[in-house]
Structure 1
Amino acid sequence: MGSGWRIVSCFHSSNRFGTARKIAVIFLLLAGIHYTFFYRQSLLDSLNRNPSHKYNCSSIAYQDKIGIKRNKSVCVKFGGGLGNQLFHFCFGYTVARKKNMQLIITRKNILTQYFKLVPIYWKHYDLNADICDGLPLITDKGYDCGYDKKLEHLPSDQNLSFLGFFQSWRYWKKYENELRQILQFQDNILHEAKSKFITILSKYQKYEGIEIIGVHIRRFDRYDTDEFGKNNAPKEYIIHAMDYFRNLYKRCLFLIFSIEMKWTKKNIPQTGDIFLVEGNSAPVDLAMLTLTSHTIMTVGTFGWMAGWMTQGKTVYYMHPATPGSAFSKLYSNYSDHFYPGWIPME
């Protein structure tokens, strides 16, 4: 009896498990149908109705997992001064533009304070300003600080994060008109720049006939060349560049901008066609430089951006690095850095 009961009992137990499996399969099928036709759409509708809650760290990962598509993102580690950060933005914008991705700009980025840039996250995402820190960096010690073709062929089906210097017009030549339209100064900065610009010009009689040239003097340190191999532009170059414009136009006015005015006053002859612009913030200086007609830059990305934004004649110092130095090795070809048509001088 006992043995027979056990056999029957096992039979009935096996039958129960088979029924349970059938019920489980049916339940999973119904759950899949419910998710596909009802819950997933309900989730999408809910997210669209509440954009402020549309994304956070967990929902991004969850939506990726369940197959809700979004554009992949481009992050650039912004750093350095205003000129460097503008190069970072132009590079990141172009990568995202070419690959139909989204460049991430957070509210803490200084460019959103200086320019009319709308902070961009994953659409309305605004819960974690450091979201880019969670993405793997694109790193390769072989990358060129000027132009590197390898960066043109990165995948568009994954998030991309960049750290470094991408200082070449070649990356974004195709989109530079778009970039100039996007990089509009905030109204308060442009108003201050124009007000000071007009005040300076009012000191000169009949200034309408004067060709106005912006001069940006960058000094890295107290030495002409630092241990890394970066060269400061010598005073002879600056005087030579100003004489170039004096010979080109009948009347010139040079507006000189520099954080090293002590060096400038000591080394640049203070002739009647020179005005030293002092006491401004970096964005106001840059905005004033773009109001001039032409540019004399020394070295550095701030002066570079001034020339590119102004779009007049730009003269640059042709020896920014000591040959064979560590700094010179970061750029395989300076023509990839300096904009075509600009005028090299020494």
Structure 2
Amino acid sequence: MVISVLAGGLGNQLFQYAFGFRMARQLQTELRLERHMLESQTLARLRNYTPRQYELDVFGITNAEASWSDTLLSLSRTLLSGHQVVLLRESEPATLAKVSARTKDVLCVGYWQSEDYFKSESEALRTQLRFQKRPSDATLAVADSIRTHPNATFVHIRRGDYVTNAITNQHHGVCGEAYYQQAVRYVRERAADTHFFVFSDDQTWVKRELGALLSPATFIEHNKGADSWQDMYLMSLCRNAIVANSSFSWWGAWLNGQSERIVVAPQRWFAADKSSYPSVVPPHWITV
């Protein structure tokens, strides 16, 4: 059995699922999803953690939930010699080398924010990761508009806790105006008649600071809370992309499998040093 521990929002859950999916296929075993951390109020009190809801159901992902006993049993087995159980922690990349044909159980703990962690199963994941829920009429209207623009390009500006939370800001940082100016220039020089579809958790700031730069643009503002997944759906329809240092827009870009497209990403994904980890940005994306 492979158990993938879920934490964070939809983008992070997708990375954690994708890595668990890869490991389960590699070992020809079952994948279960550990969901207890998602809504943990205890973690929220002890650490800088925002409780979340399970969101992978928008893709129809209904893998069995790992029980506490499943998880504790896997942890206990790592302490017993003779049991082929591996605890994989993203903070210890070398642990991947411990997985062999004899491995029976794997417990995956981390965010696994790189295509390198699941690239061998990318084709299977693209086939599976299709939105199953019906979008709202407002979202479908925007989808129709995206389809009328051959060079529809989404722009994601992530602010929120990246700006207001000191700990989050120290870890992630925020993509500033200079990044978007360079990214927009890059796309416009290579894609005629670009129309931008803009997604942000702070559209007031975006319109004030970047409105002139992005014009002509459509600002998407109707998807809130439990409907936020519909923004990712709309992102996935756009031919080109300018992503923030956010797993949400990373997947919005990745889910569009068209060739001959432009994806621009920030050269520095994390404010904190993550040089020992695989690159978050796929090699065929452009960094500025």
TM normalised by structure 2 equals 0.76
> C-alpha distance in 2, partners of 1:133/1:315?
39
2:284 counterpart of 1:341: yes
Aligned residue number for residue 88 of structure 1: 16
1:1-346 alignment runs, 5 A limit: 73-105=1-33, 110-120=54-64, 129-137=67-75, 143-144=91-92, 148-155=93-100, 156-189=102-135, 193-198=139-144, 200=145, 208=148, 210-219=150-159, 220-222=162-164, 228-270=170-212, 272-280=215-223, 281-311=227-257, 312-322=261-271, 327-328=272-273, 330-333=274-277, 336-345=279-288
* CA–CA distance in structure 1, aligned partners of residues 175 and 128 of structure 2: 31
Contact 1:192–1:284 (CA under 8 A) maintained in structure 2: no
Shift of 1:238: 0.8
CA distances 1:294-333 after superposition (whole Å, capped 9, x unpaired)? 11012121111112112332100112334xxxx21x4415
Which residue of structure 2 aligns with residue 48 of structure 1? none
CA contact (8 A) 1:216 1:256 kept: yes
Specify the SS of the correspondent of 1:98: helix
Instruction: Using the TM superposition, give the Cα deviation of residue 196 of structure 1 relative to its aligned residue in structure 2, in angstroms.
Output: 3.1
CA contact (8 A) 1:106 1:119 kept: no
Q: Deviations over 1:124-163 (max 9, x none)?
A: xxxx85454333345577835xxx3532432554322222
**What is the alpha-carbon distance in structure 1 between the residues aligned to residue 182 and residue 167 of structure 2?**
20
Query: Which shows bigger deviation, 135-144 or 164-173?
Result: 135-144
Superposed CA deviations along residues 36-82 of structure 1, whole A, max 9, x for unmatched, are xxxxxxxxxxxxxxxxxxxxxxxxxxxxxxxxxxxxx1111101011
Percentage of matched positions with identical amino acids? 22
Deviations 1:226-279 (A, max 9, x none): 663422111121122112111112201100111122221221034541111012
8 A Cα contact 1:139 1:162, kept in partner: yes
Deviations 1:62-104 (A, max 9, x none): xxxxxxxxxxx11111010111100000000001100111101
Question: Which amino acid counterpart does residue 114 of structure 1 have in structure 2?
Answer: V
Cα RMSD after superposing both structures: 2.9
Match of 1:42 in 2: none
Structure 1 segments unaligned to the other structure (5+ residues):
1-72, 122-127, 202-206
Describe the SS at the equivalent of 2:127.
Answer: helix
Q: Secondary structure at the match of 2:170?
A: coil
Task: Verify the 8 A CA contact 1:225 1:231 in the aligned structure 2.
Answer: no
SS at match of 1:268: helix
Corresponding residue SS for 1:104: strand
Distance 2:239 2:3 in 1: 34
Q: Deviations over 1:161-215 (max 9, x none)?
A: 22222112112111101001111111413876434322x45xxxxx845410011
Question: Could you say which residue in structure 2 is the equivalent of 1:26?
Answer: none
Q: What letter corresponds to residue 113 of structure 2 in structure 1?
A: Q
* Larger of the two Rg values belongs to structure: 1
Q: In the alignment, residue 60 of structure 2 is paired with which amino acid?
A: K
Task: Quickly say closer, same or farther: Cα 1:226–1:116, change in 2 above 3 A.
Answer: closer
Give the 3 Å change call, closer, same or farther, for CA 141–158 of structure 1 in structure 2: closer
Cross-structure match for 1:54: none
Q: What residue identity is the alignment partner of 1:103? A: L
Range moving further from structure 2, 271-280 or 134-143: 134-143
Q: Contact 1:257 / 1:277 at 8 angstroms: preserved in 2?
A: yes
Name the count of aligned residue pairs: 252
Q: Which runs of 5+ in 2 are unaligned?
A: 37-52, 76-85
Question: Greater helix percent: which structure?
Answer: 1
Q: Matches of 1:141 and 1:258 in 2, distance apart? A: 31
